[in-house]
Chain A
């Protein structure tokens, strides 16, 4: 019964999304007030039915209804409840349903916030309706999670054990809330082109911020998961799937800055529109990369060529349509406002140039091997050194300029004054570099440079906070986000430059050394988990002859899936991680152990969190201002 209910709900949602598209676009004409009301209602109705379909699928997973194919191939009665729920999106079909759910939620938010003129909102809903219809059709025709199996199996195949992890249970919803959320900015931009309304940047701002926050936190969470789950001690692998989430982030970050200039000083009017289109285009391309089966990783589930073709066609229509609209309508819009060469606008322009260049380098590196492969040429892969050589210098140049932006005035600024005001930050940068030069011997030059940059960013943020003291909380959003960049940079520099690692084969009672730590291997015991068997190593962290604590990395075997997963043991001081992974059994009680000491590793994700908090502060300011002031007077401090 549940399967049919879900399928029916999805069909209703499809009908409503079509109503939304037609009524929304009709409502872009000023006299069509009825159509606007219909579009509004259809949006809410679609949200309800998509939520119902998603709820139905979740219910089927929770109750282990194996007559539904999605449940049978991705769940198992032995799974703990939380992983039966996360199993909903731990597979292609369910994750596409989550995609549509997030799209519907953002459509609902567009309708409810209803900022900008009525016509703008209506046209934006129309665009959202078209997107929703296209993706619901995709689900119904190529990826239906509600298909029945007859006879139903007694037991399900289970969820990929690598995905059975609290971090990863939360990672896809968060990432989707980010990059599908960019659809709202896309729809607002397309709507602005249709109705020629200037106020779109302000109207789209809250949802732009919301999706950026989720995207930032989602990427940080994914990187943290890769760090503790994959057992390699790395935090970013330049995997195509990781890049698929990084590219929308880079464009969304550029959009966040450019749209601010559009809103505050009228600069970059057309450019911001283009970025809003580009941001969601990157999300669509990312979805294609992950869902088409072109890439092979934990993230890509079943590969089916029809799915890839459908998404590819969808991308062409969405991006092509939006760009055609842009080419047609953008010249009719009012040109951007003028500004001096030394001004905040110039800094935001440079920010955009560097972010887009960084995105271009990732884009080429990610797609080049796939294009070659698709043309039937060589099978190649592009290694991390490519990204280090292209992405890193661009990003470094960007970071150098970050502190200048918030200090310079709109339209016209005084560079000398700003540099004088930033002198303490420069001092902090020099001190940071000197400390690194004195304390750390190997890799000191790159390290000194990285820490000088972190000092520059964090110092400038502190100065910015001091300068604005007494202002509304949201005035500190930029300072917080920029400081987060500095924190992440320290973490990245610390782990990549000064990580020590040891790879040893040890027997019971033998000692091993890694970095400043001495460890004693006390053997491996077997234990039975909920749906897995684990070999658990007992490794004592020694302080002289005393055992300070015992760490227990594991190798888990999931019989239902026929898979093994390594569970790392990490002991952190907040400033340094000791990281242990259990390797293979070499017989006679001897095992391979991999150990890393990663200085400042937690800073990588802490910085991401700080950036996300900066975004939240800004969003909170927006919503509060909106709540207390009449709409026309709403002028948030930034």
Chain B
């Protein structure tokens, strides 16, 4: 083997090793940082462990929004079948309304309430987050062309 060939081989081996490390890191980190989308009925059916971060999507239940001390707020989210209470400390999006579709990021606490770190409502009043549409379809409450 000439020195040039040997060097090329060494480089190819190093590149391959780096590729394997990268692929491993990507797969591991994907597993660590993937957040599943769950509907309120998934949550009430006990499909989610407390402490696991996920995205909860549904409609804000009428008259369920209560402001507490400071920026604390509680409300409930439903897909027509299940209802999940949500606790949040932060600014609600401008388009947050009762009866509107929202997506919340966070995890369940020990007592079955969803502690949100972020609440998203999309920018268009006619717009419904696709996850919410999906949740409503699964619970059979979805009507084409509006609610």
A-side interface residues toward B, CB under 8 Å?
A: 160, 162, 296, 298, 338, 341, 353, 357, 360-361, 364-365, 368-369, 378-383, 385-386, 389-390, 394, 503-505, 555, 562-566, 581, 583-584, 586, 592, 594
Contacts and interface: CB of A to CB of B under 8 A. Distances in A.
A519 B113 CA distance: 35
B13 interface: no
A390 B125 contact: no
Contact of B71 (A341, A357, A504): A504
B123 interface: yes
A386 B94 contact: no
B135 to A, nearest CB: 9
Contact of B15 (A353, A381, A386): A353
Residue with the highest number of chain A CB atoms closer than 10 Å, among B18, B30, B92, B131: B30
B130 interface: yes
B55 interface: yes
B25 A389 contact: yes
A365 B94 contact: no
B113 to A, nearest CB: 20
Interface of B: 4, 7, 15, 18, 22, 25-26, 29-30, 32-37, 53, 55, 67, 70-71, 89-92, 94-96, 122-125, 129-131, 134
Given A353-B15, A378-B37, A503-B90, A562 B125 contact: yes
Given A296-B130, A365-B30, A390-B26, A564 B36 contact: no
A548 B22 CA distance: 52
B125 A592 contact: no
B94 A296 contact: no
26 contacts: A160-B124, A296-B122, A296-B129, A341-B7, A357-B18, A361-B25, A361-B26, A365-B26, A365-B30, A368-B30, A369-B34, A378-B37, A379-B130, A379-B131, A380-B34, A381-B55, A383-B35, A386-B29, A505-B70, A555-B94, A562-B125, A563-B123, A563-B124, A564-B95, A583-B71, A584-B91
Contacts of A361: 22, 25-26
A440 to B, nearest CB: 26
* Interface of chain B, main secondary structure: mixed
A380 B36 contact: yes
Contacts of A382: 30, 33-35
A373 B130 CA distance: 11
A108 B131 CA distance: 44
A586 B122 contact: no
Nearest to A349: B11
A547 B122 CA distance: 37
The 10 closest A-B pairs by CB, nearest first: A564-B94, A583-B91, A386-B33, A379-B37, A389-B29, A383-B33, A385-B33, A562-B125, A386-B29, A380-B34
A390 B35 CA distance: 17
Contacts, number: 95
B35 A380 contact: yes
Nearest to A293: B130
A594 B30 contact: no
B102 to A, nearest CB: 13
A357 B70 contact: no
Contacts of A296: 122, 129-130
Residue with the highest number of chain A CB atoms closer than 10 Å, among B7, B67, B95, B131: B67
A567 to B, nearest CB: 11
A366 to B, nearest CB: 11
B94 A360 contact: no
A386 B129 CA distance: 23
Contacts of B36: 378-380
B34 A338 contact: no
B106 to A, nearest CB: 12
B91 A381 contact: no
A503 B22 contact: no
Contacts of B35: 380-383
A292 B26 CA distance: 26
Contact of B4 (A338, A357, A586): A338
B89 A503 contact: yes
Contact of B125 (A338, A369, A386, A563): A563
Contacts of B131: 379
Given A338-B4, A386-B29, A564-B94, A592 B34 contact: no
Contact of A389 (B33, B71, B124): B33
A503 B91 contact: yes
B91 A594 contact: yes
Contacts of B90: 503
A177 to B, nearest CB: 26
Contacts of B4: 338
Contacts of B129: 296
Contacts of B130: 296, 379
B13 to A, nearest CB: 14
B94 A565 contact: yes
Residue with the highest number of chain B CB atoms closer than 10 Å, among A353, A566, A581: A353
A369 B95 CA distance: 26
Contacts of A357: 18, 22
A343 to B, nearest CB: 12
Contacts of B67: 586
A562 B29 CA distance: 40
Nearest to B25: A390
B34 A566 contact: no
Given A160-B124, A503-B90, A584-B94, 19 more contacts: A296-B130, A298-B123, A360-B22, A361-B22, A379-B36, A379-B37, A379-B130, A380-B34, A382-B34, A382-B35, A383-B35, A385-B29, A385-B33, A389-B32, A562-B125, A563-B123, A563-B124, A583-B91, A586-B67
